[in-house]
């Protein structure tokens, strides 16, 4: 089965990756297990109706990013990416206010999307770019 990947598009005013497409993700809250955080972030960003049927840890990596705040202040942030392969039972997505749009994308169509640098690295590691 060929992968179809869900991406969300950051608005042009976003502090990270403005106007670019990204994989869903976020932070782990104190006391939260990693899989719980993954499910919570997906619910928060992609809605309650998207049902995950399979979650498998895939890899991790780290990086630094510059975040730009609305007042123009910038901060360099160290990030650890814990990357999972997820399978959903449906494609029922309702994005939150963080994003402008979403798309389910086939691997052969990735070239048509302005993917952020972190997403490009992840997809390259998967052999999709």
- Find the mean pLDDT for residues 79-84: 88
- Find the mean pLDDT for residues 15-28: 90
* In the chain, domain spans: 4-125
- Report residue 1's pLDDT band, with 50, 70 and 90 as the boundaries: low
Residues ≥6 apart with Cβ < 8 Å to 111: none
25 φ, ψ (degrees, to nearest 5): 180, 180
- Provide the pLDDT for residue 57: 87
For 109-118, write each residue's pLDDT tens digit.
999 999 999 8
- Provide the pLDDT for residue 105: 96
Q: How far apart are CA 24 and CA 14, in angstroms?
A: 14
- Provide the pLDDT for residue 44: 94
- Provide the pLDDT for residue 2: 74
CATH match for 4-125 among 3.20.20.70, 3.90.230.10, 3.90.79.10, 3.40.50.2000: 3.90.79.10
CA proximity to 93, closest of 123, 48, 125, 53: 48
- Provide the pLDDT for residue 78: 92
Two structure tokens written together for 15 = 């502090």
For 82-111, write each residue's pLDDT tens digit.
889 899 989 999 999 989 999 999 999 999
- Provide the pLDDT for residue 51: 87
Residues in a beta bridge with 60: 82
Instruction: Give kind and range of the element (H or E) at residue 34.
Output: helix 34-46
- Provide the pLDDT for residue 60: 87
For 28-75, write each residue's pLDDT tens digit.
999 999 999 999 999 999 998 888 889 998 888 899 988 888 898 999
Two structure tokens written together for 37 = 């955080």
């Amino acid at each position: 089965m060929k992968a179809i990947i869900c991406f969300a598009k950051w608005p042009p005013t976003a502090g990270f990756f403005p106007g670019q497409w990204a994989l869903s993700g976020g932070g782990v809250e104190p006391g939260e297990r990693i899989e719980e955080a993954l499910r919570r972030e997906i619910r928060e960003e992609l809605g309650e109706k998207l049902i995950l049927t399979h979650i498998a840890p895939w890899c991790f990596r780290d990086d630094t990013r510059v975040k730009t705040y609305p007042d123009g202040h910038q901060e360099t942030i160290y990030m650890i990416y814990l990357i999972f392969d997820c399978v959903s039972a449906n494609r029922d997505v309702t994005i939150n206010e963080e994003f402008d749009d979403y798309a389910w994308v086939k691997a052969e169509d990735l070239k048509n999307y302005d993917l952020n640098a972190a997403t490009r690295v992840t997809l390259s590691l998967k052999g999709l770019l």
